[in-house]
Amino acid sequence: MQRPNAPSPLQRIIIALIGGLFLFGLALMLLGLGYGLRYSGRIFPGVRVGWVDLSGLTPLEATDQLRAAYEYPQRGQILLRDGENLWMATPQELGIFIDPAENAQAAFELGRTGSLPGRLGDRFQGWFQGVTLPLRMTFDQRIAHHQLTTIANQINVPTIEASLRVEAADVVVQRGQIGRRLDLTANITQIETLTRALIDGEINLVVDEDPPVIMDVEAQAQIARQILSAPLTLRMPGAGEDGPGPWGFAREDLGGMLVFERVPTPEGEEYQIGLDEARLRGFLEQIAPGLERRPENARFIFDDDTRQLEAIAHATQGQSLDIEATILAAQSKLLAGEHDINLDMDYEAPQVNDEATAAELGITELVNSHTTYFYGSSASRKQNIRTAASRFHGLLVAPGETFSMARILGDVSLDTGYAEAWIIFGDRTIKGVGGGVCQVSTTLFRTVFFGGFPVVERYPHAYRVYYYEQTYGGGHDSDWAGLDATVYVPVVDFKFTNDTGYWLLMETYIGEYYLTWKFYSTSDGRTVDWSTTGLTNKQDAPEPRYEENEELGTGEIHQVDWAVEGAAVTVTRTVTRGGAVINEDVFTTNYIPWRAVCEYGPGTDGMPPENPDPDNPCRAD
């Protein structure tokens, strides 16, 4: 009969297995504890660090063993190479360190740390198949960086661009240099990789190179030396010994004008050699006005008998300096080795050459003539009238041209043939160069006025000048008042327009006391009517002024200004052709009253007079 609650056969088997496992585990634990007691204070069997077997050794013994086995940091040899340059260092000098005690302690702790099953597993693995621990090493990158920085001070060089400069007339060359820089990061990686393998070896240092854009400038230096091999001479084409020019630049001056400009090329860049265009342009702009010449038509006189033209002055070609073309020519010719270079000139032919005929120009008759008188003029005033009038003799005015008197007069100075005579300056009549030129401008104005040509610009005198009211024989006619014109180059001008379809020829003739101006052309039938209001709104001259002049001697009295009453006058001109009015002008002039001025030497009796004589204000009392 079966007992109740008895275990089944399967249950008995399971209980037996559990019990067996428990007994087996207990046995292993007791064995492990016994194994640990046996190797108390010593490294368990089968434990290595790297290739060194530390089985059964105490940590201190293991430390000594490892120190003897791993002398690589102190005795290893690392060769650092940069081309032919070599540096030798131990791994320790490059930052590699091995701590034997640390590695021995790691070996000792194997099987003694972690969970109990883990510790027992480590001990069993060491006993059964052995355990190799990696050698613990330290790589101090700061030490490696310091060592490499020391080496970099010998390797690193800056990138230097090749350059040129001029000292006086000598070309100085600075050759280019390839920049080199030690790559610290890459080389530290190389050192760590090699030394962790615990082997000696050679490291080819990584050096970054930075070549200059321009390495060699010797070819450009040769060009510069050729340019500076001789002085530069600029010449005016066709100029004789009397000039203008030539203009020379010494080698040192030429050196100061050289510029070296970097320009791109397919390969990179190079220097372009040339002259400093701004400096050369500045020089050419200075000499250009002296080289400029307007084209001048031939000058003629009209033969009243043959009705043909007779040339009295040759036509001249106009010229001007082409500054930009000269700069280009100088640049290219200097580069080609030339040092004697012609200026580049622009030429302009005159409109009328020496062979022109009266028929071609439409000059067939005298269309107007006018004469003014200057009785009582000084020799210097006559000289100025003659000099100024000669500038216009034989001159042609083109159809439609607006003629400027000031342009033809040009420079009025002692150098151009003028003398000192009385001129109006401000509120005084003083001695000045060119006094009397207004006799010429007044004569031209009247010839234009009575010829019916349009007046473009005209200025009257400040006060009435009796020369311009003189008649034949030295008399005066106030009806001529308001028909004067003044010119003061370059501020005040007289201009008129040849509004006909024919050329206009001027002729000027000067006698002892007269100036005659003639216009030859072809009449288009115009006529001139004119009228004058005469002098109106008259004003008495101011009281005389007396001035002491220390340059005059005692008793010397000079009158330097003459009293003239002020007045207004209006002149009207009507120009008609075929009964139709083609032009009408009104010329209004307001002459200011002008005082007499007397100068006297210091100590002159009766000056200034208490009761001046109105007819002779400079007479002493």
The mean pLDDT value for 41-66 works out to: 93
Domains and CATH numbers, the chain: 218-348 (3.10.20.800), 362-520 (no CATH), 525-621 (2.20.230)
Across all residues in the chain, what is the average pLDDT? 89
Which residue is associated with the tokens 């230097």?
160
The reported pLDDT for the residue numbered 137 is 93
- Which helix (H) or strand (E) segment is 330 a member of? helix 323-335
Nearest to 182 by CA among 147, 215, 214, 212: 147
The reported pLDDT for the residue numbered 6 is 66
The mean pLDDT value for 337-357 works out to: 95
The mean pLDDT value for 124-134 works out to: 91
326 pLDDT exceeds 80? yes
**Torsion sign across C-alpha atoms 550, 553, 554, 556:** negative
424 pLDDT exceeds 80? no
Nearest to 80 by CA among 147, 156, 157: 147
Q: Which of 287-301, 415-429, 500-514, 568-582 has the lowest mean pLDDT?
A: 415-429
The reported pLDDT for the residue numbered 1 is 43
Tens of pLDDT along 255-301? 888 898 888 988 888 888 888 999 999 999 999 999 999 999 999 99
The better pLDDT of the pair 298, 566 is held by 298
The reported pLDDT for the residue numbered 66 is 94
CB-count exposure of residue 92 (10 Å: 0-12, 13-18, 19+): middle
Instruction: Name the band, by pLDDT with cuts 50, 70 and 90, for residue 15.
Output: confident
Instruction: Name the band, by pLDDT with cuts 50, 70 and 90, for residue 117.
Output: confident
Q: Is 207 left (phi over 0), alpha (psi -120 to 50) or beta?
A: beta
- pTM to 2 decimals? 0.64
Nearest to 505 by CA among 351, 328, 361: 361
Q: Determine the Cα–Cα distance for residues 320 and 594; give it in Å rounded to an integer.
A: 47
List the Cα angle 182/187/193 in 5-degree steps. 175
The mean pLDDT value for 76-98 works out to: 95
Tens of pLDDT along 172-210? 998 999 999 999 999 999 999 999 999 999 999 999 999
Q: Determine the Cα–Cα distance for residues 164 and 216; give it in Å rounded to an integer.
A: 10
The reported pLDDT for the residue numbered 245 is 85
The mean pLDDT value for 391-418 works out to: 91
Distance from CA of residue 568 to its chain's centroid?
56
Cis amide bond preceding 211, omega within 30: no
